[in-house]
Amino acid sequence: MTFTRFIDLSGPEIERFGEDTVAVLPVGAVEQHGPHLPVATDYYMAEAVAEGAARLAGESCDITLLPGLAYTKSDEHAWSPGTLWLSARTLLSVLDDLGRSLAAGPVRRLAFLNAHGGNSALLGVALRELRTRHGLRTFLLHAALPADQGGASPAAEFGMGVHGGLKETAAMLHLHPDLVDMTQARRSVPEHLTAYEHIGFGKPVSFGWTSDDFATGNGLIGDPTGATPELGRKLVDASVSAAAAALRECARFLPDRPPTP
């Protein structure tokens, strides 16, 4: 029962993995996060939570950490310099190729650990494709569930802290304080959306948006101003714990029976 970095092993070592080994793929993004956060925010978050959780879960099961994907689907931020992104078709092909070549070896379980809400839908598609095409047991974990996908969001953000808001900023203050410039942090909550009953972040009707649709001026959707390293530490720790617990379950999940004790 160990944690390993997949890429630090040799081919023959990888050949010895068992069918309960869980490969973990961090899925980040390189995209504008307003003027106070680096474009790597989601990538750093994915890497940090994935590694933390993989190490923790690796104490009781076989977890192997894959190199994370930095470039993913960020078309909602395509208007901004600094956003480097793959089209949906390209990213689907990348995931399919990874699934195909992983499944050519002994690994049978693959968990995406995603930190960019804009990837969730596509990863949902990939979950099933890798299951049906390559026979992998696939799982989707979130570094932190976005506010519009069932995650909590502070009242001050009206449930709209989906991009560069309180939680992401806090997490970065904890993980990479040198990369955060709080003097540039401005509240950017499109409060007028609360006047819609059905359509909006986390409401029953989702909609196609880009981050410059809301006239908030800086590409953020949320309120970073109250973020602190302490909050960030708590959030990251909680994410790591939750993801580790989930990974332990991924290692023994079988859809046709309960977990074996």
Kindly identify the residues of this chain, within the stretch 46-105, that bind its own copies according to CB under 8 A: 66-67, 70-71, 73, 75-76, 78, 80-90, 92-94, 96-98, 101-102, 104-105
Name every residue whose Cβ is closer than 8 Å to that of residue 171 and which is 6 or more positions away in sequence.
Answer: 45, 144, 232, 235, 236
Contact 57, 247 (CB under 8 A): yes
By the rule CB under 8 A, 258 interacts with its own copies: yes
* Minimum distance of its own copies from residue 109's CB (angstroms): 10
Site for its own copies in 103-132 (CB under 8 A): 104-106, 118, 120-125, 127-132
Selected from 18, 60, 152, 259, the binder of its own copies by CB under 8 A is 259
Q: Which of 49-57, 153-161, 179-187, 228-236 is the region at the interface with its own copies (rule: CB under 8 A)?
A: 179-187
Q: Which of 135-143, 152-160, 222-230, 232-240 is the region at the interface with its own copies (rule: CB under 8 A)?
A: 135-143
Q: Which of 10-18, 50-58, 153-161, 222-230 is the region at the interface with its own copies (rule: CB under 8 A)?
A: 10-18
For residue 38, with 0-12 CB atoms within 10 Å meaning exposed, 13-18 middle and 19 or more buried, which class applies? middle
Contact 65, 196 (CB under 8 A): no
* Minimum distance of its own copies from residue 195's CB (angstroms): 4
In 3D space, the residue among 134, 163, 174 whose CA is nearest the CA of residue 23 turns out to be 134
Q: Which of 50-58, 155-163, 185-193, 225-233 is the region at the interface with its own copies (rule: CB under 8 A)?
A: 185-193
How far is the C-alpha of 105 from the C-alpha of 199, rounded, in Å?
45
Selected from 138, 153, 188, 239, the binder of its own copies by CB under 8 A is 138
Q: How many C-beta atoms surround the C-beta of residue 231 within 10 A?
A: 18
* Minimum distance of its own copies from residue 260's CB (angstroms): 10
Straight-line distance from the first to the last Cα atom of the chain, in angstroms, rounded to the nearest whole number? 16
H/E stretch holding 23 reads strand 22-27
Selected from 22, 24, 27, 30, the binder of its own copies by CB under 8 A is 30
* Minimum distance of its own copies from residue 206's CB (angstroms): 5
Selected from 36, 108, 116, 174, the binder of its own copies by CB under 8 A is 36
Say how many residues touch its own copies, by CB under 8 A.
Answer: 109
Selected from 181, 230, 237, 238, the binder of its own copies by CB under 8 A is 181
Binding-residue pattern over the window 189 to 218 for its own copies, x denoting contact by CB under 8 A: -x-xx-xxxxx----xxxxxxx--xxx---
SS3 25: strand
Residue 169 is classified by DSSP as H
DSSP of 213-253: SS--SSS-BB-GGG--HHHHHHHHHHHHHHHHHHHHHHTT-
Site for its own copies in 214-253 (CB under 8 A): 214-215, 219, 242, 245-246, 249-250, 253
By the rule CB under 8 A, 158 interacts with its own copies: no
How far is the C-alpha of 60 from the C-alpha of 244, rounded, in Å?
10
